[in-house]
Each structure stands twice: as structure tokens, then as C-alpha cells.
Amino acid sequence: MLVAMRNGQPDCVPAAPDMSNMIPSRLTGKPFWDIYLYHDPPLWMAYLETVTHFGHDGWLAGLPYQLDCDLEEAEGKPVWQEAIVERRPDRLYTRFHAETDGKTQWSDWCNAYYIDNPSTHGLPLAKVGLPTDPPTRWEDVERRTHYKGMEAFYTARERMGDRGVVLPSVGLPGLAQRPEAVYEYYDSPSNVIARCEQQRERTVRRTRELVTHKPDAILIGMSGHMIWNPEPIFRVLSLPALQEVTAICKAAGVVSQIHCCGPERALVKMAAEESDLDSINPLEIPPMGDCDLARLKREFGTRISLMGNLHTTEVMLRGTPDDVRRASRRAIDDAADGGGFILSTGDQCGRDTPDENILAMIDTARTYGRY
């Protein structure tokens, strides 16, 4: 994985389907709210079991951790506690409360945790039929596993071993994924730019501390970022932070990778030509994205490694093992020449993706993808 991320040529094409959520949760046999709400087991630990189950190359991001700079920022601020405010047969609703100046404050939004699907966060109360008044009865959530500071990262890295890569992540500044943020950018651009500059400083500070822990790689997480931050906006709000973060990683000898589902071709070009980014995924095809894997390889493959991009519904979920093999061979033909390619999916595999399809993808990489 690391050889390919550094745009080198490994023994064979790594196979790392994006299975960071639904499939690991399904394989536990537990209600999904056990994983997402109670951390029993935490999602990252369920993912490590998935690596063992299928034997694919591990690609683990989304770890919970707190850096020293995070703890410093939290000093003196209210401590928010998550609490279950309503139980339904197929889901749990939670809100957050905190003590401020001797009074209890409640969030004006909620999270939903489902029995058989990933959780949904930041829902308006009225949308799910919850009252906006503070609840009179609730149940504070007690996590069943606890990892402080960077403990989860070190534990995951030890358990992963040489089976894959563990990537702590940082974000990038930009417009939030809601219509009001777009209006604010055009109505009050100076306010948005100032806020993104503060976010850039925080991201850079966190990156500088992260590299002291000597991870193999850092993921710059930006799911759907280019949908709300197309190239002209990205250049103003996000590119300066990307340039600084990737420069820090390069100086520290740490691989940098971006995850940005949705349209991404403009980002590949900017990252390859104007930053020190090493690797990018998931390179989704239309209609979700705008990426042509063969074209990206021709135009940018000497400067940046590529990871993707089998269709997660038409191929992985609804296709046959033979469909998966054909799509995998095509992706290898399109992008594996000379190395610098990781066979993966165009974002997250669905919960009901057949095991046979996942195994067909892995087998194709191990056989057809040998150099």
C-alpha cells in the first residue's frame, strides 16, 4: 500500500475496497447502534476484523483521537454529554446537553442511530418529530470502550501490522455542506475567508503535531468537498491549507492522501500540479463523480498516485463476481502501468454488497494485477 501511495511499483496492485462503515458493522452481527453509539466494538476495531475476514489490504482512517492542541482548545469550554432522548424499535435519537453558567443547555438538533444502517447526525428536531423543548427524561450514553489521546491510533497500528495502512486524518477549510453557507460566501465573503483562515491555522497546527507521532500516512478527509467548494471557491478557501499540509507531510516523510467523493477531476489537477499531495481517491465515475481513470493516469499519473474506482452500486452491489472481475481488470489496465495505483471502489461499499464480489475484486488484484 505504501509503495503504491508513494507512486512506486509494488509486487502487485493493492486491493483496498472502501469498506469503512457498513460491511464491518454488518459482520459484527450486532445492531449498528452498538458500533456507532456505544462503541461496542468501535467502528475502527470492527474494520480491522474485516481486513482479517476478507484478506484485503487495510486502509483505516476515521480514528478517534485527541491531540494536545485539541485538549488545549477545549480547556474552559462546556463539556457536552450525549443522551438518548427517544427509543424506537429501529432507531435511537440523541441530543447533547452541557452545564453553562449553572444552567443546562440542550442542542437544538439530534443524531439518529439505526439498528441496521450508519448513524445520521445534525438532524433538525422537527424533521424527526421530536419536541424542541428540553427533554424531561433522558439516558446519558456510556461508551463501552474508551481510548484517550492517541491510544486508538497506536492500538490500531499495532493490530493492523503489515496488513495495511492506518491514517489519522485532518480536514480542510471550506464552505459547510448546506445552502446557507453558499449564500454567506457571496453575501459576506470577508467573513467566510476570515473563518477559513482560522480553520487553516488549526489544521496546520494539528498536522504539525500529528507528524510527530510518525504515522505512515495522513488522510485529508473531504467527503463531498468539491460539490460545495468548486474550483474557484476551493482556490480561495481550501488550496492554501492543502499546500501547507502536504508540504509538512513531505518534509516529515509522511504520505499524504485525499479522500473526496463526488466530482474530483479539478482537484486531481490542482493537487498534482500545485501541492505535494502523494495520493488521491476515490475518483468516482459519472453520475456521482466526473473521473475517467485512464485519462487521469495519462495526465497526472507521473505526479500523483491514484486509488479507485469501481462503481459501488452497479458493479459491487448489484453486479456478479464476473462483472466485478471485468471492472477490476479494466481499472488495472487503465491505471496500474508503472505502479502508483490502488484498486478500490468509488467510495463506500453498501451494506448488502455480496462477499463473493469483494473476494472477486481482491483475487483479481492478486492475480491479474501482478507486475
Q: Are residues 61 and 11 in the same domain?
A: yes
CB burial of 315-341 (b: ≥16 within 10 Å; e: otherwise) equals: bbbebebebbbebbbebbebbbeebbb
Q: How many angstroms separate the Cα of 135 from the Cα of each of 73, 94, 139?
A: 29, 11, 10
DSSP 275-289: S---EEE--PPTTT-
- Asked whether residue 5 carries a pLDDT value surpassing 90, the answer given is yes
Q: Are residues 287 and 181 in the same domain?
A: yes
CATH number at residue 238: 3.20.20.210
| pLDDT digit string, tens, across residues 248-294 | 999 999 999 999 999 999 999 999 999 999 999 999 999 999 999 99
- Asked whether residue 98 carries a pLDDT value surpassing 90, the answer given is yes
- Residue 34 inside a domain? The answer is no
| pLDDT digit string, tens, across residues 29-54 | 999 999 999 999 999 999 999 999 99
Report residue 27 as a C-alpha cell.
459482520
Report residue 5 as a C-alpha cell.
501511495
Q: Are residues 176 and 211 in the same domain?
A: yes
Instruction: Give the model's pLDDT for residue 102.
Output: 87
Question: Model's pTM, two decimal places?
Answer: 0.95
Q: Are residues 86 and 119 in the same domain?
A: yes
Instruction: Give the model's pLDDT for residue 107.
Output: 97
- Residue 104 inside a domain? The answer is yes
- Residue 49 inside a domain? The answer is no
Q: Summarize the confidence of residues 83-99 as an average pLDDT.
A: 97
- Asked whether residue 357 carries a pLDDT value surpassing 90, the answer given is yes
Q: Are residues 275 and 251 in the same domain?
A: yes
Q: Are residues 106 and 255 in the same domain?
A: no
Of 116, 140, 164, the one marking the end of a domain is: 140
Q: Are residues 168 and 285 in the same domain?
A: yes
- Residue 42 inside a domain? The answer is no
Instruction: Give the model's pLDDT for residue 62.
Output: 86
How many C-beta atoms lie closer than 10 Å to residue 93's C-beta? 20
34, containing H or E segment: helix 32-36
- Residue 26 inside a domain? The answer is no
- Residue 263 inside a domain? The answer is yes
| pLDDT digit string, tens, across residues 115-161 | 999 999 999 999 999 999 999 999 999 999 999 999 999 999 999 99
Q: Are residues 172 and 317 in the same domain?
A: yes
- Residue 44 inside a domain? The answer is no
Number of domains comprising the chain: 2
- Residue 219 inside a domain? The answer is yes
**Mean pLDDT, all residues of the chain:** 96
Q: Are residues 193 and 153 in the same domain?
A: yes
Q: Summarize the confidence of residues 327-336 as an average pLDDT.
A: 98
Instruction: Give the model's pLDDT for residue 354.
Output: 98
What percentage of the chain reaches a pLDDT higher than 90?
96
| pLDDT digit string, tens, across residues 197-222 | 999 999 999 999 999 999 999 999 88
Q: Summarize the confidence of residues 344-354 as an average pLDDT.
A: 96
Q: Are residues 213 and 129 in the same domain?
A: no
Q: Are residues 350 and 217 in the same domain?
A: yes
Of 140, 156, 171, the one marking the end of a domain is: 140
Residue 126's domain comprises 79-140
Q: Are residues 121 and 171 in the same domain?
A: no
Residues ≥6 apart with Cβ < 8 Å to 202: 69, 73
Instruction: Give the model's pLDDT for residue 21.
Output: 95
